[in-house]
Amino acid sequence: MVPSWNRVIGERTLKTSRPTRILVTVAALAAIGVSLNSIQNWVRTPSLINESSRSFDQPTVAVDPPPLGLLPVVHPLDNQPTPAKIRLGQRLFFDKRLSRDHSLACSSCHDPGRGLSISERFATGVGGHKGNRHPPTLVNVAYNTLQFWDGRVGELGRADSLEHQVLVPIQDPHEMDLSLDEAVQRQQNDPLSRAEFQVAFGASPSAELIAKALAAFERTLLFGDAPFDRFKAGDATALSAAAKRGHDLFFWKATCSACHSGANFTDNAFHPSVATDSDLDIGREHRNATDARRIHHVVTDSVSDFGRERVTQDEADRRHFKTPTLREVHRRSPYMHDGSLATLEEVVERYDRGGFDTRYWPVENREKIERLMTSDEPDALSFRKNAAPQLRAGFPLKLTAEEKQDLVTFLREGLTSNSQPITLKEVPKP
């Protein structure tokens, strides 16, 4: 059974302004002698701004009702959901004919049993090719405007980024390695598949319709109604005592909510990576890649990963990656864009030490900046107190052992849904 869609939200406009806390941070830095040249990248860094909330006007269609705690899902007007379209997308999601050697489906890297990701650090594509990023989860992917860890697919303010994203892995030689022409021909050669497309779209299979069906299905992958949602709705018993303490830490002392904010626990913006073991060998090859597919290939070919910078060609975005949702986070280890942290305990420990990788900060002021971020001297304490929330999230947290465990308990217990979307049940291919 598939929910019905019947509520239209016409045109939606979101408005925001540049956070004033950034100005406060700049003033604090200037007051203690850090040069403007050293901090200008902080001010101009897009990841200090919630990129998903800039002004736009985009006609959309909304799904109703979403699970408890989530917002209505918006759909492009040219891809309004129907049960037939979603069933077709569901079948395509599990269809290994979308890979060159019939060995992989979308679900191979986005396993419903693993939080719509995988348990390995990197995915293995056709021919044994390995990537160097952990597959991003598809949990609540409907709320993403920019897709992939570096946001290279999509456009701010539009609702159709999934239609563009789903075709990239199919074509990528390091993943499914299938041309779109061949993908269409395989569907066209199957009488049952042709019939499905006729029912869903009134047309024969095409790359555009494959993308629309997959996107329509992926927008049903909604995870809400977790203990946190019931607690927020007034059920005081929904969280254990430890999870309640972890909840308070998440939103206050640990500052997790500076980036993991909103109903989906992500600001959908880009922030500096934490320094992990995979950050040791950083090169500068292929810096000029701009096309989405070329960037995709560069990422999997190269040991270096400059993140958002490859898309924007702006050094202020170096090593910046998109904030992932924390819903269902317990089900999808390992963690981080490179899969380098195996457990939630490791993630909390890493951020407790201070989240920012300072090697990319101005060399001449790195020592001063690191002192500001770690010292208990009065000027450093003042600086951290007045910094923007996203910047504060990079400071050492100084959590106790009990606080760390409480925080993990909240992530594991509070943000895990009790049920999966009905559309995740695998269906036989035609």
Q: CA–CA separation, 327 vs 140, rounded Å?
A: 8
Flag whether 407 is in a domain.
no
Q: What is the pLDDT of residue 392?
A: 66
Digit-coded pLDDT (tens) for 4-43: 332 222 222 223 333 433 343 444 344 334 433 333 333 3
The domain containing residue 160 runs over which residues? 81-223
Whether the Cβ atoms of residue 154 and residue 164 lie closer than 8 Å to each other = yes
Domain count of the chain?
A: 1
DSSP-derived letter for residue 137 is P
Q: CA–CA separation, 339 vs 341, rounded Å?
A: 6
pLDDT band at 92 (very low <50, low <70, confident <90, very high): very high
Q: What is the pLDDT of residue 360?
A: 54
Digit-coded pLDDT (tens) for 334-366: 999 999 999 999 999 988 887 565 555 566 666
Q: What is the pLDDT of residue 176?
A: 97
Flag whether 159 is in a domain.
yes
pLDDT at 227 over 70: yes
CATH of the domain at 95: 1.10.760.10
Flag whether 145 is in a domain.
yes
Flag whether 25 is in a domain.
no
Q: What is the pLDDT of residue 372?
A: 76
**Region for residue 140 given its phi and psi (left: phi exceeds 0; alpha: psi -120 to 50; beta: otherwise):** left
* Range 229-256 average pLDDT: 96
Whether the Cβ atoms of residue 38 and residue 364 lie closer than 8 Å to each other = yes
Residue found under tokens 């995988």 = 118
Percent of the chain past pLDDT 70, that is, above it, reads 72
Q: CA–CA separation, 346 vs 101, rounded Å?
A: 37
Digit-coded pLDDT (tens) for 44-64: 333 332 333 322 233 344 445
Flag whether 212 is in a domain.
yes
Take residue 211 and report the two structure tokens written for it: 């993308």
Amino acid at 275: A
Digit-coded pLDDT (tens) for 385-407: 777 666 666 677 889 999 999 99
Q: Which residues face 8 on adjacent strands?
A: 61
Q: What is the pLDDT of residue 2?
A: 37
Flag whether 295 is in a domain.
no
More confident: 56 or 414: 414
Digit-coded pLDDT (tens) for 67-80: 999 999 999 999 99
Digit-coded pLDDT (tens) for 169-218: 999 999 999 999 999 999 999 999 999 999 999 999 999 999 999 999 99
Q: What is the pLDDT of residue 347?
A: 93
Flag whether 91 is in a domain.
yes
pLDDT at 93 over 80: yes
